[in-house]
Structure 1
Amino acid sequence: MDLRPWEAIVVGSGATGGVAALTLAEAGVRVLVIEAGRSLSARDALGFEPLNSLRRFSALSSGRQQRQAQHPGYWKHNPQLFIDEQEHPYSHPAERPFLWTRADQVGGRSLTWGGITLRLSDADFQAAERDGVGSSWPIRHADLDPHYTALEQRLGVYGQRDGYGQVPDGWAQQALPSTLEEQRFAAAVREQHGYPWMPSRGFAAHPAQARKRWPSSSSPGSTLQAALATGRVQLLSEHRVERFELNRHHDRAEAVIAIDRATGQRQRLAAQQIVLCASTIQTLRLLLQSEEQAAEGRGFIDPSGRLGVALMDHVSTCRFFAMPAATPADPSAPATTPAELSGAGSFFLPFGHALPDTSAARPLRGYGLWGGINRFDPPAWLKRQPECRLGFLIGHGEVLPDPANRVSLEGPLDRWGSPTVHIDCRWRRNEEVMTRHMEQTIAAAIAAAGGTMLPLVDLVKAPLIEPLLRQAVALTDGAAPPGYYIHEVGGAAMAANESEGVVDPWNRLWRCPNVLVVDGACWPSSAWQSPTLTMMAITRRACLAALRPGSD
């Protein structure tokens, strides 16, 4: 299939790339989706045990996935879905680590996405108007509401209407059942502390036996699949987009330069519209290489001077605990077995900006706590307290947009001779204050429910991987380094005028309006909610707007 001349090029095939391709294709546009990673079948992508464990051992012993292994998702999925760090280098200051978790396949990180779908509220979009830090978004919840709804319906997410203003209600199927221990936990924290509690919203777990079928939370199992089915989308995998080129007037992009990963050859691919969905840091790399300074005067102009500035991730801290097993109300009912942990099979304490009172100093902005109980319990013989259920609480904390946290083209050259990124990002005082506040709230919630907070190695017997668990950054005191949570956003923020941001309220580059930046790079602030659904809604809105006559 060859649809040239393509009318649009979408860079990246993950959560936002799938939405962009589908939105444009359904409007009759001929689209080329360019993906740096490989094209795999569902069976090969999901893998199986013990082969996945053998692959992990090989990758770790050879030093190819040392950073990737820090994230819990690495131990759940096929390690082939994560990047080879020796082939794809980047750099950061030695004293300021950044754990950049990357994907290497069609579908991107949507194949390892946890599947939580929370909306942002106007309190999140307007946070800077309250505290004066950074800039507010030039859009509001009402601008994204129809796009949130369309995506929730298409994807078939689970949840319920909770009535919390900090997490606006949307469309959802009936929420997945909570475990008995989660129900008891919810009652305790509500009664003793007045904490808000809600079942999580998102996707159910992908059935383990469905190894030949893509997860519905992945783009190959949803939006990208539907886009390809239109017959107006072509997929070019294993090609890394290096930059885009402008016309002779320097006011529109007319092509991208893509490197064939197998041969190293560069190819010029022309289109009338370019949509950047490569993921936050990869999109920033592409923009930096396409900017006037890097392109020897032939690139686009960023009048704000803020390209690459104010990178953010969620600050997080994690605690595990043991909780007495709950007994069913009906004595004849069988004892409950662990339920599956998933985006919808879990819960939140969604504080947002209405943080609870603790003895710790109060941070700017807000957070939520994600948790689950009796959802990842191993067999009784591997539990140090067989009579108890295992639980966890993880903080999602909003990070302030600090200009000192930035991405630049100062990393080592890659195997194709292109510059790679240097990421300089660290937590500052407000993130430290937020971490302590989250830790106190977590401890209070666990105590209220009658749980006992313990390190994971004191709850589970894991002789083969216990040394790795003790070294895991997520299981140490305090906050894991930036990048760990894989919620990186910022660096090409949208703004109401060109002096304050890199893209306009419709996600167009100010001086090059046929280039859309729709992934996390366009975020002016991080909010605290899981960002993927909002990225997808932004993408749909921007692509529909680009289809209107005279949009640029």
Structure 2
Amino acid sequence: MKRSETVYQPPIPAGKKFDAIVVGSGISGGWSAKELCEKGLNVLLLERGRMIEHVTDYHTATMAPWEFPHRNQEMPLDVLKNYPVQSRTGFTITEATHHHFVNDLENPYVEEKPFDWIRGYHVGGKSLMWGRYSFRFSDLDFEANAKEGIATDWPIRYKDIAPWYDYVEKFAGIAGDRDGLPHLPDGQFQPALPDNCVEQYFRKATNATFPDRKVISARAAHLTAPTQQQMSLGRAKCQFRNLCMRGCPYGAYFSTQSATLPAARRTKRLTVRPHSIVNSIIYDGKTGRATGVRVIDEQTHQWLEFKGSIIFLNASALGSTYILMNSKSTRFPNGMDDSGQLGRNLMDHHFHVGATAGYTHDLDKYYYGRHPAGLYIPRFRNLPGQSQQTFKRGYGFEVYTERENWGHAYGEEGFGADFKEKATQFGTWKITLDAFGECMPYEDNRVYLTTDVTDKWGQPVLKMDVHYRENETLMRKDAKEQAVLMLEKAGFSNIDGFDSQAHPGLSIHEMGTARMGTSPKNSVFNKFNQHHIVKNVFCTDGASMTSSPCQNPSLTYMALSARAADYAVRALKRGDIPR
């Protein structure tokens, strides 16, 4: 499992000024870089971790289990000790994937309360390991804060972002169906991933029994009918391997490596510099503008400065907020913010609550390949026209199904031909309903900078003070009950409700801490993801989210990034932002 350790540092002439600097190369950073390059700007893309090149650096992508020293079943303890936080997820740290996650010992943080901060520091960021579920938000989501008098109002509505959803979906490639749900708007879809027999049965039974809810195909960023534009970037149809976290050599799922990075590179206007830890933004008090960023070279620990006319923060929700908090000056003694909201309102979807069951029919059937997304039950609580539940907002269910293979014989007693025959038969079908629920924007769910602990490069780290509240607890109770009820009504067996009481962070959908809003008094960024005070600084990742609708948020980051880049370039050309 050797991987390239080549130092990839393009020479940047001293004093060179870029039209734009993009900090972070994940889902939103890749989009920002692509859009800015394609609109004529010379862009410096900074990534704090190593370079990962598409295909050539996916060293485990095609390895069979027996090609790993421990059959991809166990991690050596001398390696696992570097991942005390990343391994909490239960699925990320394997022989095949551990190199895509951060070394926790080198990148510490402080937990005032338990918080699972899952990170990938390399070019492409978590776009290489994300779950790929891609849903739009609706006005049910954008209007909720204002209608309920909670936190602050979103500065945008669905009509503002709808054309940008169209734009990014066509480029990224989203498989799904047009389902006609107002609270989960339809998009520009390629054919949906097909159902297996259990999914077909559950979908039909639940849709017939519960008129207030609808089981649909998950909308996933996988190519099922690649367009000419996508194929021109070297992308191909999904192969149903479901080994996505290793990196996809076919470019079948959307990632920075497969899509936005090659698009940006072909403009010849992109410079990528990995091993570049952005410490802070450089602020010029005379002009009221940012002039560039301060960087620590990850490998040499050398301090550097890079200049740019526009700065896009796409370092992840907490990464971007860290940079803003660290960007102190006479004008901004507490970080680059006037609202007092920087570091506050941290949200993450709460999940790992629902039910599992068995399915004793169709035992003569199996499925071909391993499709990488299953079914989805969109939010069905607190919709317009419904009575209010004991909790606000709502949740959706991701639905997973599988049939046990010969692994079902692990631990069973027996020997001889009969046991061998039994062990090599497929086991029973299993189904899981796992809820993802909205977390409210609580002002005292927050992060701080602390020097009690420092990282490998001597920088202060974040302290997390975040927990779920009564609203989330009541929502989880309902989600568990409804999951059990749906499986009962559908005729499944051995139904078992569960609630793991997962900590914030584990869903890996961090949102908030530098929210968008209507005024510099209530928010850090405006309706174009532009800093209220420092007009040439933008942020389009999870930090800018004003609330946390229960849908997976990455598609919204893509749309916001494309929209903000369009606005920034037009502002630059008008002279509203000086070069």
Q: Say which of 20, 23, 35 aligns to 1:23.
A: 35
Partner of 1:362: 390
AA aligned opposite 1:9: I
Determine the C-alpha separation between the residues in 1 that align with 2:376 and 2:335. 43
The answer as to 2:57 corresponding to 1:44 is yes
Determine the C-alpha separation between the residues in 2 that align with 1:10 and 1:364. 36
Q: Say which of 81, 89, 102 aligns to 1:83.
A: 102
Partner of 2:228: none
Q: Secondary structure at the residue paired with 1:16?
A: helix
Partner of 2:416: none
The answer as to 2:370 corresponding to 1:340 is yes
Q: CA RMSD in A?
A: 2.9
AA aligned opposite 1:37: G
Partner of 1:304: 339
Partner of 1:254: 291
2:111–2:463 contact (8 Å) kept in structure 1: yes
Q: Deviations over 1:414-456 (max 9, x none)?
A: 121111101110011111111111111111111122223567x
Partner of 1:133: 150
Alignment map for 1:447-462 (pairs within 5 Å): 447-453=488-494
Residues 476 and 161 (structure 1 numbering): CA distance in 2 closer, same or farther, change over 3 Å?
A: closer
Alignment map for 1:105-504 (pairs within 5 Å): 105-194=122-211, 195-204=213-222, 208=241, 212-249=249-286, 251-292=288-329, 301-319=336-354, 321-324=356-359, 326-327=361-362, 335-337=365-367, 340-342=370-372, 345-354=373-382, 362-374=390-402, 377-379=404-406, 381-382=408-409, 387-410=427-450, 412-453=453-494, 477-504=499-526
Determine the C-alpha separation between the residues in 2 that align with 1:357 and 1:440. 22
Residues 551 and 174 (structure 1 numbering): CA distance in 2 closer, same or farther, change over 3 Å?
A: farther
1:321–1:452 contact (8 Å) kept in structure 2: no
Shift of 1:497: 1.0
AA aligned opposite 1:18: G
Q: Deviations over 1:290-331 (max 9, x none)?
A: 144xx7957865221110001000011244534325549xxx
The alignment-based identity, stated in percent, is 30
Determine the C-alpha separation between the residues in 2 that align with 1:103 and 1:526. 22
Shift of 1:356: 12
Q: Secondary structure at the residue paired with 2:379?
A: strand
Question: 44-53 vs 495-504, which deviates more?
Answer: 44-53
Shift of 1:365: 0.7
Determine the C-alpha separation between the residues in 2 that align with 1:356 and 1:141. 16
Q: Deviations over 1:161-205 (max 9, x none)?
A: 100111100100111111111111112212222221110111336
2:240–2:369 contact (8 Å) kept in structure 1: no
AA aligned opposite 2:101: F
Alignment size in residue pairs:
521
Partner of 1:331: none
The answer as to 2:128 corresponding to 1:100 is no
Residues 119 and 73 (structure 1 numbering): CA distance in 2 closer, same or farther, change over 3 Å?
A: farther
Residues 190 and 415 (structure 1 numbering): CA distance in 2 closer, same or farther, change over 3 Å?
A: same
1:251–1:300 contact (8 Å) kept in structure 2: no
Shift of 1:84: 0.3
Q: Deviations over 1:41-62 (max 9, x none)?
A: 4343352344386786136765
1:321–1:451 contact (8 Å) kept in structure 2: no
Determine the C-alpha separation between the residues in 1 that align with 2:71 and 2:473. 38
Determine the C-alpha separation between the residues in 1 that align with 2:70 and 2:535. 46
Instruction: Give TM-score scaled by structure 1 length.
Output: 0.88
1:46–1:211 contact (8 Å) kept in structure 2: no
User: Which 5+ residue runs of structure 2 have no aligned equivalent?
Assistant: 1-9, 223-237, 413-424
AA aligned opposite 2:81: G
Residues 361 and 151 (structure 1 numbering): CA distance in 2 closer, same or farther, change over 3 Å?
A: closer
Residues 131 and 170 (structure 1 numbering): CA distance in 2 closer, same or farther, change over 3 Å?
A: same
Q: Deviations over 1:481-518 (max 9, x none)?
A: 00000000001111111111011111111110101011
Partner of 2:92: 74
The answer as to 2:539 corresponding to 1:517 is yes
Determine the C-alpha separation between the residues in 1 that align with 2:262 and 2:78. 33
AA aligned opposite 1:217: F
Q: Secondary structure at the residue paired with 1:283?
A: helix
Partner of 1:472: none
Determine the C-alpha separation between the residues in 2 that align with 1:550 and 1:57. 55
Q: Secondary structure at the residue paired with 1:33?
A: strand
Residues 505 and 60 (structure 1 numbering): CA distance in 2 closer, same or farther, change over 3 Å?
A: farther
